[in-house]
Amino acid sequence: MIIELNQNIMDSNDSRAEEIRGILAKNRVVMINIISSPGSGKTSLLEQTLEKLGAHFKLGIIEGDVNTNRDARRLERFGLPITAVNTRGACHLNSTIILKALGKLPLDNLDCIIIENVGNLVCPSEFDLGEHAKIAVSSVPEGDDKPQKYPMLFRQAKCLVLNKIDLLPYVPFDRQVFYRDIDNLNPKLPVIETSCTTGEGVDSWIEWIKGFITNQPRRLNQIDEGFSNFRRPERSR
Ligand SMILES: Nc1nc2c(ncn2[C@@H]2O[C@H](COP(=O)(O)OP(=O)(O)OP(=O)(O)O)[C@@H](O)[C@H]2O)c(=O)[nH]1
Ligand SMILES: [Mg+2]
């Protein structure tokens, strides 16, 4: 006898994501989910971000890793609340994991939680974590064809960071192809070019994320309230 289960396998993920949205709204916390292939520079971008954003907002981190807590250890020096999640092989974070991780963070004393998802360009974008924004990180040595080959993340992202631009002189990367494909997939997507190694472009990213956090409808626990007039930067090319 065959029993058919027609329930959407994402149903339970989606209902927990809804629960998370309620918790974040109640505590007036913004949650950002950073997604990229392994090694594009998520942790490097987080290091830059915590350095420069930590003085203005109360930040918490959820660090997703498949098999170690190395990235969480890299961020320990900032002295911020970090929940390290070891997925033991799973290629993405889901809303059940995030719900548990939120329980370990001091939500009533945070403005923004930044999630570093597991390095993977496909699966993490399929899971609603109840976040306010998915942020895509792509990097020059991965190639200019990634948006076209893995479109889901680039369609969903609210901001795209193109990292490792210091390597442009050394590897083939056609900006025209990259931007043409982005324009086809998500024409309004802000793209910010950075090098986490030289620091180039990082200030534009910091401006974007400050603006995003500030513009969410919520009570701010900001230390510095000087960002309410933020204007979104033009796409850098
Ligand atoms: N040249 C160059 N290297 C970079 C840049 N950003 C990061 N890297 C290097 O790229 C490697 C991977 O960076 P990570 O920040 O660990 O990347 P990640 O996305 O967090 O990697 P996973 O967590 O394993 O998915 C490290 O050796 C970094 O030093 C950059 O802008 N330019
Ligand atoms: Mg990392």
- Tens-digit pLDDT profile for residues 65-114: 988 899 999 999 999 999 999 888 889 999 999 999 999 999 999 999 99
Gap from CA of 199 to ligand 1 centroid (Å): 13
**Cβ-contact 14, 128 below 8 angstroms:** yes
CA angle 204, 210, 216 (to 5 degrees): 135
**Cβ-contact 213, 112 below 8 angstroms:** yes
For the cut 70, the answer to whether the pLDDT of residue 143 exceeds it is yes
- The confidence score (pLDDT) of residue 167 equals 98
Gap from CA of 45 to ligand 2 centroid (Å): 9
The pTM of the full predicted model, rounded to 2 decimals, is 0.90
Average of per-residue pLDDT across 134-146: 98
> What is the C-alpha to C-alpha distance for residues 101 and 32, in angstroms, rounded to an integer?
14
Other Cβ atoms less than 10 A from the Cβ of 31: the count is 23
For the cut 80, the answer to whether the pLDDT of residue 2 exceeds it is no
**Cβ-contact 201, 195 below 8 angstroms:** yes
Residue extents of the structural domains in the chain: 11-215
- Report the Cα–Cα distance between both ends of the chain, in Å, rounded: 59
Which ligand is in closest contact with the Cα of 37? Answer: 1
Gap from CA of 48 to ligand 2 centroid (Å): 13
- Closest approach atom of ligand 1 to CA 46: 15
**199 close to ligand 1 (CB < 6 Angstrom):** no
pLDDT tier, 132 (very low <50, low <70, confident <90, very high otherwise): very high
- HSE-CB for 90 with a 13 A CA cutoff: 11
**The total number of residues written for the chain in this structure:** 237
Each residue of 6-27: pLDDT tens digit?
Answer: 556 677 999 999 999 999 999 9
- Closest approach atom of ligand 1 to CA 36: 19
| All residues with CB under 5 Å from ion ligand 2 | 42-43, 71
- The confidence score (pLDDT) of residue 228 equals 40
**39 close to ligand 1 (CB < 6 Angstrom):** yes
Name every residue whose Cβ is closer than 8 Å to that of residue 1 and which is 6 or more positions away in sequence.
Answer: none
- Closest approach atom of ligand 1 to CA 37: 25
**71 close to ligand 1 (CB < 6 Angstrom):** yes
- CATH code: domain 11-215 is 3.40.50.300
> What is the C-alpha to C-alpha distance for residues 141 and 164, in angstroms, rounded to an integer?
8
For the cut 90, the answer to whether the pLDDT of residue 179 exceeds it is yes
Please list the residues that pair with 159 across neighbouring strands. 135
For the cut 60, the answer to whether the pLDDT of residue 157 exceeds it is yes
For the cut 60, the answer to whether the pLDDT of residue 225 exceeds it is no
Q: What is the mean pLDDT of the chain?
A: 90
Which ligand is in closest contact with the Cα of 41? Answer: 1
Other Cβ atoms less than 10 A from the Cβ of 135: the count is 26
Instruction: Identify the residue whose C-alpha is closest to ligand 1 atom 32.
Output: 164
**Residue type at position 19:** E
Nearest in space to 213 (alpha carbons), one of 151, 156, 158? 158
**42 close to ligand 1 (CB < 6 Angstrom):** yes
For the cut 80, the answer to whether the pLDDT of residue 220 exceeds it is no
Beta strands in the chain (DSSP E): 30-36, 59-65, 82-86, 112-116, 133-139, 159-163, 191-193
Average of per-residue pLDDT across 42-51: 98
What is the SS3 assignment for 160?
A: strand
- Closest approach atom of ligand 1 to CA 71: 23
Please list the residues that pair with 192 across neighbouring strands. 161
For residue 84, the surrounding DSSP H or E stretch is strand 82-86
